[in-house]
Amino acid sequence: MKNIGSILSKCMVVLFRILVRHRKFTLSVCSVYIVTFVVVLPLVCMEMPYSVYFDPGVSRTELEDRVKEINNDRVKLADAYITSLNAMNAQRYYSLNKTVPLATATGYKADQHMQKQHIDIVIAVVTVKRTSKETQRLGYLSQVVAGLDAELRGPGCAFPESSTTMFICDVHAGPGLHQEAGRLAQYFPTKTRFTKPEPAYVIMDRHDKEKSDYVYCLNEALRYDPRYVIMVEDDAVPRNNMMYTLKHILNSRLTSSQSTSSVFKDLPSHEENHVLTSNNWAYLKLFYPEVWQGYSKEWRTVIDLIGPALSGGSLFVVIFYFTLPQRYSQHAKHKHSCHHENINDYSTPHKNSNMSYISIICSFLIGATYMVVLAVLLGRQNVISWRRLLPTLHHVVPAPNCCSPAILFPASMARQLTGYLENTTCSKRFPMDFALDKFAVQHSYQRYLVEPNIMKHIGFVSSLSSKSKNPEDFLT
């Protein structure tokens, strides 16, 4: 401890001497800090949510209008995409060579129409009709199925066409019909839980009904006998390369033993050997609210600052070592007659190796501090977004108990979960996502989350409360 204290005290003394004696260096460092944090970042990050500098410059009402405009633009794109599809071909795509019953607008008719084929992933889109006429025009469901269809059919899907499928799970109990789901039923397989209004479910506790609906749709997905089930709520759209990223995670990070043979069939043998095969993880969350993904006291978010600190410190050391010493050497030679102690004693490694290393440490600390402050002011949400450049850069972390817009379950876990949820009562104080977490904790199963999110939450208006949420969370 004494040695560490001595080194730190020497660093502070040397740093102070450098800053005092070398005004050019001091001015350069101060200029970089001031230009970055006082001039550049406030201009660049003014409209960047989750940064310290975020300032939309408008009232909440105007911000809500902006969110609605963004949503309207997405709805137009989704509607144009869906209407460009051939309804018959679209149905065939999800029915041909798959364990998919022939679908109608009122649901599946009979299991004898099923055609058996191994399925890797089944996506169930759980949807319920919004209450007011204004919220019914938000087009969330259309955006979700259009985005998922584009992912499943796109060249970046990475899964064979015959190994993935999707269906809409309409759980609206009334009053009236879910018109948006009915319109989309001509393009996509649709399962309707209630063929007529069910007053008992309408007056049921909203959270318990959500759980009941979840169990129903999960059981419908398990009828396909898949390896994995993705449960998607009707206000979560996929980000670009969602399926490709998901396959990489299942291939390289985690999987269940029952899934190994099919999902890894196109992996090189040396990659397959590095896959962790395990039956002790309950689910993988594909979304977590970004507002809670910032830097905090949690160890994993603190560790995220190590990378910026190392890169910033190293950069400043390079600049200090290869650029500044040359200037100081010239300055030292000019002042040699006036100074008994050569300035190079602590600015270069040529005269005094101990002092030179302390100088390097000081420059490293200046750079590390710069990058850490930069990362904190930008916000962790924006810093980790660079990982979206490549699907392979996403990583898996322990999942918190909230929330449930998009979750992947191994089929074996999904079967256990349905039995658990059927005997569980949910309420406002114990919502379904808490029940999912409790299921995993009771069975000592791991829960995981993909970072950054590979799904995007667009539900500005909640299906449970019909209330608007914070508009800042829906600007990206």
Q: Which among 120, 116, 93, 91 has a CA at the least distance from the CA of 105? A: 91
Q: What are the residues facing 457 on neighbouring strands?
A: 236
Q: Which among 457, 474, 466, 472 has a CA at the least distance from the CA of 140? A: 457
Instruction: Assess whether the previous peptide bond of 217 is cis (omega < 30° from 0).
Output: no
Average pLDDT on 101-110 reads: 41
First to last CA, the chain: 47
Q: Does the predicted TM-score (pTM) go above 0.75?
A: yes
Residue 245: strand, helix, or coil: helix
Give the domains, in start order, of the chain with CATH numbers: 2-44+301-378 (no CATH), 60-294+404-474 (3.90.550.10)
192: left (phi over 0), alpha (psi -120 to 50) or beta: beta
Q: How far is Cα 224 from Cα 100, in angstroms, rounded to an integer?
A: 7
> Per residue in 52-97, pLDDT tens?
999 887 788 888 888 889 999 999 999 999 999 988 888 888 875 4
> Per residue in 183-230, pLDDT tens?
999 999 999 988 877 777 777 788 899 999 999 999 999 999 999 999
